[in-house]
Structure 1
Amino acid sequence: MDTTPFKAPSFGEATRTFAKIGLLSFGGPAGQIALMHKILVDEKRWLDEPRFLHALNYCMLLPGPEAMQLATYSGWLMHGVRGGLVAGLLFVLPGALVISALSAIYLTVGHVTLVQGLLFGLKAAVLAVVLEALIKVSKRALKNGSMVILAIAAFVAIAFLKLPFPLIIAAAATSGALMHVLGVTTSKASSKVEPEIAYAMPEWTKPSARRFFSTLAVWLAIWFVPLIALWQLLGPGHVFTAEATFFSKMAAVTFGGAYAVLAYVAQQAVEVHGWLKPDEMLTGLGLAETTPGPLILVLVFVGFLGGARLSALAPLTGGVAGAAVTLWFTFVPCFLWIFVGAPYVETLRNVRWLASALSAVTAAVVGIIANLAVWFALHVLFGNVGEVNWGPFALPVLDFGSFDWLAATIAVAAGVALIRFHAHMIAVLAVSALAGMAWQLS
């Protein structure tokens, strides 16, 4: 193996490059990962192909946005914790500022006819975006009959039995591990050994018990001390405490990326906490699709509206505070996973039962995204959606008289453009928004 020392760029050059990545990271995780590969591997040659894929494989195992964590991992490889912090923050903060500004605009002028038309078209197009994501994930995850069964079971569990998202993920992981024990194949992965990493990496990338415990203690404190402070100062019933608690839990179980968790977040935020209305989750997703950074920034929109409506502060002040709380408790755990776990990646990669468990989780995510697509479709296409209980099942009841033909037309057109003709997502969203505005003006 070549033991050429790893040659990191200067801290300033790395900072400028990750700022560029953060500002250009549109198009969801696939596009963002491709952008990082182009810049970090092909253009800058700061990472070789095996090291980049090695980092990506680890980030795919983690809860949370894999592209943001890949940026953090890459920065950590080059300059340790400070490099990871800068890379991760620059990947998140530009989009967070934009989505916060858009949330404020929505809160203050969302009732304006023209804005309502824009949001109407955006929500209809988002339905097609989610369907496209479902198709892509299905092709990658459902490699055999066992995985298809897991996906269907997850869909039924969350859509009709209303089981908690973390329980479904835990059950899928357990099933995958048991499949490995029983000799059931969970994927068609090749047994080919990956090539050796070409660089002798810096000292901080090597496992160390002392570093592990000190890093773990620091980042657990950064995560939980503010959470405990909110509980003590504001009480468990306050909206900021509820947001901090809820999004901390989401940060620990969001395997599969943003689409996997949105249905559960939407259900809890709308039906349990009352932070926003059902159609507003679609609005937030549409806005998040048009901003740089991880798609899970839609949670900042949720936190903004919750803080604006339910805190005792002025709406915009409460909204900004709610967005800040959401941002902190959603992304601080991402840094914890990287800084604590990255030195042990090699060990994790070789644990076969863990790989089987995570393959099963990915299959369950397909069912959860399918539920998200159905949930969005019902609220986009029908003005009135009820629910009836039949034994342990909760079934939707549709008012077919409230069917929205215009929303269906925009959604179908957007779906054809994205899935059949592979049109650029931002362009499809823009045209759909213009169609909604034209409808409002007609």
Structure 2
Amino acid sequence: MVEVPVQPTFSQLLRAFWRVGLLSFGGPAGQIALMHRELVDERRWVAEEEFLHALNFCHLLPGPEAQQLATWIGWRLHGLRGGLAAGLLFVIPGAVIMLGLSMLYVAATGLGWFAALFLGVKAAVLAIVVQALLRIAGRALDTRFKQGLAVAAFVALAMLALPFPLVVLGAGALGMLVAATRPHWLALKPGGAPAAGPRPWRSTISAAAVWATVWAAPMVLVAATLGTHHVLWDIGTFFSQLAVVTFGGAYAVLAYMAQEAVQGFGWLSAGEMADGLGLAETTPGPLIMVTQFVGYLAAFRSPAPFTPLVAGLLGAGLTTWVTFAPCFGWIFTFAPWIDRLAQATRLKGGLAAVTAAVVGVIANLTVWFAGHVLFPAFDTSVPGWGFDWRAGLLAVVAGVLVFGAKWGVIRVLAVCAAGGLILGSL
């Protein structure tokens, strides 16, 4: 006998996703596991098969898959207002906390104890990124072809300095071609029967038009009032582009974001980028919330015609808007196609190839972080090339706690931050 899912009231949905939003630590794996336990196992609002089907669908989309899964569940249970409520409640707690931490970070910059604290945070982040690299590689690289794609992506980024969007989109195009001729190279399973019924073109076009307008609205306002040479225009344009190529999770785009934000725009330093990731690791919600930290600092440091605080708030708000508005747009536009997309072999092939390439992207991120954390004053003319032994020691401690003791992110960050304070006093 097939169990019929329970239909919650809208107020029950709000309470459930408020709880999920507050407890969604641990990255996408932990967030998806939390939603599964809360909504499938305990409340039985969504059937197991539906949940997994929707999760596979969300993996096809750019952006944080856990937030998009929450939006889809809300849409499935209560239509548009349910999707908006679930998606917003998944994001808002982390966004508010991240904004507060960004403001405190700027206020405390320059203090000796604060620099020592974040010495430990950066060392812990390095171990966490290595853990993410190994976890994703173990799951994604199950064929020789995928392993080759990962190596090629690393070489393209680390040695040839090719643009990140080109690498990701190129891997996706290659995956679609391979899926049509050699699907076993990507370990693709045969698709099922095509979905029956009329194609939902009308609702798709309507939703796409509405959410494209929502996405662009603040950018139109910035262009009309401040012009296209203002820092807010640069912030909105850059993070809008980032939202379109955010396949494979936040770690996949961090190196590209850091490269552009640090070297391209000069919004912050490499060390501050690592600090921002450490702050994002401590907050609930999607890890891509680190973009809000970058947007806050970028606007805070080029505030005219506003005060630094007001400019920072506007930068953080605009960054969050252009990062997450597309996520709602993808769900409301493509959710009616979920059954059809699940059978799209070429699309799944493109996604599998992108996921494999993301391993190389994260490997490049790991090298980038390691260089800036362990060699903050890199200089080949001095003994040790500017190696920071305190960061090296704390990174080893973090590695032991992450891989040996299997500690969670928050505990590792806390111990390493305390270690940074101790070593910083030496």
Asked if TM exceeds 0.5, the reply is yes
Does residue 359 of structure 2 align to residue 370 of structure 1? Answer: no
Instruction: Give the residue type in structure 1 aligned to 2:210.
Output: V
Contact 2:191–2:343, Cα closer than 8 Å, also in 1: no
The whole-number CA distance in structure 1 between the counterparts of 2:301 and 2:263 is 15
Backbone CA RMSD of aligned residues: 2.1
Q: In 1, Cα distance between the equivalents of 2:87 and 2:265?
A: 30
Tell me the amino acid that sits aligned with residue 352 of structure 1: T
Partner of 2:243: 251
Q: Residue 382 of structure 1 contacts residue 399 of structure 1 at CA under 8 Å; is this kept in 2? A: no
1:259-299 deviations in whole A, cap 9, x for unaligned? 00000000000111111111111000000000001000000
Q: Is the 8 A contact 1:22 1:292 kept in 2?
A: yes
Is structure 2 residue 323 aligned with structure 1 residue 324? no
Moved more, 150-159 or 362-371: 150-159
- Cα distance in 2 between the residues matched to 1:307 and 1:166: 25
| CA deviation map 1:215-236 (0-9, x unaligned) | 1111111011322332232222
Match of 2:113 in 1: 114
Letter in 1 for 2:359: V
AA aligned to 2:402 is L
Task: Report the counterpart of residue 214 of structure 2 in structure 1.
Answer: 222
CA contact (8 A) 2:102 2:296 kept: yes
Alignment partners' CA distance in 2, 1:399 and 1:210? 66
Q: Quote the residue 1:64 is aligned against.
A: 63
Match of 2:19 in 1: 20
Asked if 1 retains the 8 angstrom alpha-carbon contact of 2:378 and 2:387, the reply is: no
Distance in 1 of aligned mates of 2:71 and 2:382:
45
TM-score, with length taken from structure 2? 0.95
**Letter in structure 2 aligned against 1:276:** L
Matches within 5 A, 1:328-407: 328-385=321-378, 400-407=384-391
- Taking the aligned partners of 2:228 and 2:258, their CA distance within structure 1 comes to 21
Q: Which residue does 2:398 correspond to in 1? A: 414
One-letter identity of the residue aligned with 1:242? D
Tell me which amino acid in the other structure corresponds to 1:292.
P
Letter in 2 for 1:76: W
Of residues 212-221 and 22-31 in structure 1, the stretch that sits farther from structure 2 once superposed is 212-221
Counterpart position of 2:91: 92
Specify which of 277, 283, 290 is matched with residue 275 of structure 2.
283
Would you identify which runs of 4 or more consecutive aligned residues in structure 1 move more than 3 Å?
2-7, 186-194, 396-399
Q: CA deviation at 1:210?
A: 2.5
Match of 1:423 in 2: 407
| CA distance in 2 between partners of 1:286 and 1:241 (Å) | 27
Q: CA deviation at 1:398?
A: 9.5
Q: Which amino acid aligns with 2:422?
A: A
For residues 142 and 350 of structure 1, what CA distance do their matches in structure 2 show? 22
Change (3 A) 1:397 1:192: farther
Post-superposition shift, 1:190?
Answer: 4.7
**Is contact 1:29–1:66 with CA below 8 Å preserved after alignment?**
yes
Q: Distance in 2 between matches of 1:349 and 1:49?
A: 16
Q: CA deviation at 1:73?
A: 0.7
Letter in 2 for 1:183: R
Cα distance in 2, alignment partners of residues 269 and 63 from structure 1: 20
In the alignment, structure 2 segments of 5+ residues that lack a partner are none
In 1, the alpha carbon distance for the partners of 2:382 and 2:400 equals 25
| 2:267 match: secondary structure | coil
Partner of 1:74: 73
Contact 1:385 1:399 in 2 (8 A): no
Matched residue pairs, number?
A: 423
Are 2:102 and 2:293, in contact at CA under 8 Å, matched by a contact in 1? yes
Contact 2:192 2:343 in 1 (8 A): no
Matched, 1:136 2:128: no
**1:178, 1:193 → 2: CA distance?**
20
Q: How big is the shift at 1:399? A: 7.3
Q: TM-score, normalised by structure 1?
A: 0.91
- The amino acid across from 1:18 in the alignment is F
DSSP 3-state at the match of 1:274: coil
Distance in 2 separating the partners of 1:138 and 1:3: 36
**Per-residue deviation at 1:3?**
8.9
**CA distance in structure 1 between the aligned counterparts of 2:142 and 2:422, rounded to whole angstroms:** 43
Report how far residue 75 of structure 1 moved. 0.7
Counterpart residue identity of residue 25, structure 2: F
Answer whether contact 1:263 1:372 (CA < 8 A) is retained. Answer: yes
Distance in 1 (alpha carbons) for counterparts of 2:217 and 2:2: 42
2:417 corresponds in structure 1 to 433
Cα offset, 1:118, TM superposition: 1.2
- SS of 2:211's equivalent in the other structure is helix
Distance in 2 of aligned mates of 1:348 and 1:237:
40
The structure-2 alpha-carbon separation of the partners of 1:38 and 1:180, relative to structure 1 and needing over 3 Å to count, comes to same
